[in-house]
């Protein structure tokens, strides 16, 4: 490894350096190799405690962090908001301090509101304790581990042996769907534009508002906005589809799901506009047949959805390892 990791918390990709991206990619590649062995466990984080604090629903992110921590031999505490003391009036900060008092070394935090993981990280720093905070998705803000696993997945398609940021230079990546509500899109915009890829966002205007024009103006030649799917897909190398996040929509932003599916749904037919080698990603969970057609989703020649889930464990092992060993 060429770089020393100095980051205690991973809250956002906004200030990630190329070295940091490459360190995560290389470390994830070695853990991916560990996960292909018969014995898939290493003693790296033995004795360390990882707490999964999920204040919002999750299937893959929560399980993926749990498995990653177990594969590194850490002890894992799983917290689920629904049956916790939050219902008795305990604050989120007091919940975090409770886990701190049990000797937690790293907290993986998901919350429906933007900024909660950062607020907990600030409090831990103020207390002077060496606890690493990992943002596992905060409101519409960021989801760094998802974007890092997407990056790893894309890079390993190009070079399975040596995934690295530079492989994406000049590639065209289309991100399609509910961009407005997507923390996955926001984190991916940071990582993909840092890689030198051309990022093309496509959505109906209600799901791709003015704010993103400002983002695009700040990244000339790197980030492009489209309100018609076809322009984003032309010659694309990768297409990242996003879930319509109905639970985050506070007003009617779409005339109907059927119309959305007809104009922005990813199907085999619209993929013909892309490069012949195109691959499709989706962070999950999927509204089958809405943002992506059901048969496409299940076609391993075109869809990287299962690979993303598999890669997620190695990438999260890398993050826990880098944060945990930095502390040591």
**Footprint of ligand NCD on residues 24-63 (CB under 6 A)?**
60-61
- 60 vs 275, beta carbon nearer ligand NCD: 60
Residue 310 interacts with ligand NCD (CB under 6 A)?
A: no
Residue 245 interacts with ligand NCD (CB under 6 A)?
A: yes
- 41 vs 246, beta carbon nearer ligand NCD: 246
Residue from 284, 310, 325, 326 touching ligand NCD (CB under 6 A): that is: 284
Residue 283 interacts with ligand NCD (CB under 6 A)?
A: yes
Q: Which two tokens stand for residue 194?
A: 């840092």
Q: Please state the length of the chain.
A: 328
Q: Which helix (H) or strand (E) holds 63?
A: helix 60-71
Q: Are strands 223-226 and 238-241 parallel, antiparallel or unpaired?
A: unpaired
User: Judged by CB under 6 A, how many residues of this single chain contact ligand NCD?
Assistant: 11
- 44 vs 287, beta carbon nearer ligand NCD: 287
Residue-wise burial string across 51-63, b where 16 or more C-beta atoms lie within 10 A, e elsewhere? bbbbbbebebbbe
Residue 183 interacts with ligand NCD (CB under 6 A)?
A: yes
**Footprint of ligand NCD on residues 122-141 (CB under 6 A)?**
137
Please tell me what DSSP assigns to residue 10: B
Work out the number of other CB atoms within 10 angstroms of the CB of residue 266.
Answer: 27
Shortest separation between residue 186's beta carbon and ligand NCD, angstroms: 10
Residue 146 interacts with ligand NCD (CB under 6 A)?
A: yes
Chain residue whose CB lies nearest ligand NCD = 243
Residue 248 interacts with ligand NCD (CB under 6 A)?
A: no
Shortest separation between residue 245's beta carbon and ligand NCD, angstroms: 5
| CA distance linking residue 80 with residue 51, whole number of Å | 11
Residue 243 interacts with ligand NCD (CB under 6 A)?
A: yes
Residue 184 interacts with ligand NCD (CB under 6 A)?
A: yes
Shortest separation between residue 121's beta carbon and ligand NCD, angstroms: 19
| Cβ neighbours of residue 44 closer than 8 Å, sequence gap 6 or more | 72, 73, 321, 324, 325
Under a CB-based contact definition with an 8 Å cutoff, are residues 200 and 226 in contact? yes
Beta strands in the chain (DSSP E): 49-54, 75-80, 106-111, 132-138, 172-176, 198-202, 223-226, 238-241, 279-281
- 167 vs 208, beta carbon nearer ligand NCD: 208
Residues binding ligand NCD (CB under 6 A)? 60-61, 137, 143, 146, 183-184, 243, 245, 283-284
């Amino acid at each position: 490894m060429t770089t020393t990791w100095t980051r205690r918390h991973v809250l956002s990709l906004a200030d990630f350096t190329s070295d940091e991206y490459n360190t995560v990619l290389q470390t994830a590649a070695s853990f991916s190799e560990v996960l292909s062995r018969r014995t898939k466990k290493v003693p790296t984080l033995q004795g360390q405690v990882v707490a999964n604090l999920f204040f919002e629903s999750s299937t893959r992110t929560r399980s993926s962090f749990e498995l990653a921590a177990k594969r590194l031999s850490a002890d894992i505490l799983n917290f689920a908001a629904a049956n916790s003391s939050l219902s008795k009036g305990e604050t989120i900060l007091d919940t975090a301090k409770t886990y701190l008092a049990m000797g937690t070394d790293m907290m993986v935090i998901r919350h429906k509101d933007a900024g909660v993981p950062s607020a907990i990280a600030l409090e831990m720093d103020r207390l002077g304790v060496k606890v690493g905070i990992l943002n596992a998705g905060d409101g519409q803000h960021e989801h760094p581990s998802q974007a890092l696993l997407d990056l790893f997945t894309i890079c390993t398609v190009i070079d399975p042996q040596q995934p690295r940021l530079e492989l994406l230079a000049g590639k065209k990546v289309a991100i399609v769907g509910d961009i407005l509500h997507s923390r996955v899109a926001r984190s991916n915009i940071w990582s993909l534009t840092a890689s030198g890829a051309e990022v093309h966002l496509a959505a109906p205007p209600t799901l791709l508002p003015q704010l993103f024009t400002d983002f695009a103006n700040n990244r000339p030649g790197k980030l492009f906005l489209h309100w018609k799917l076809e322009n984003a897909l032309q010659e694309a190398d990768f297409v990242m589809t996003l879930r319509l996040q109905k639970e985050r929509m506070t007003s009617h932003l779409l005339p109907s799901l059927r119309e959305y599916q007809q104009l922005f749904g990813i199907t085999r037919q619209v993929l013909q506009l892309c490069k012949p080698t195109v691959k499709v990603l989706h962070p999950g969970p999927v509204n089958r047949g809405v943002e992506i057609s059901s048969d496409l989703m299940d076609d391993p020649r075109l869809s990287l959805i299962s690979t993303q889930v598999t890669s997620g464990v190695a990438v999260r092992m890398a993050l826990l390892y880098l944060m945990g060993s930095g502390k040591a």
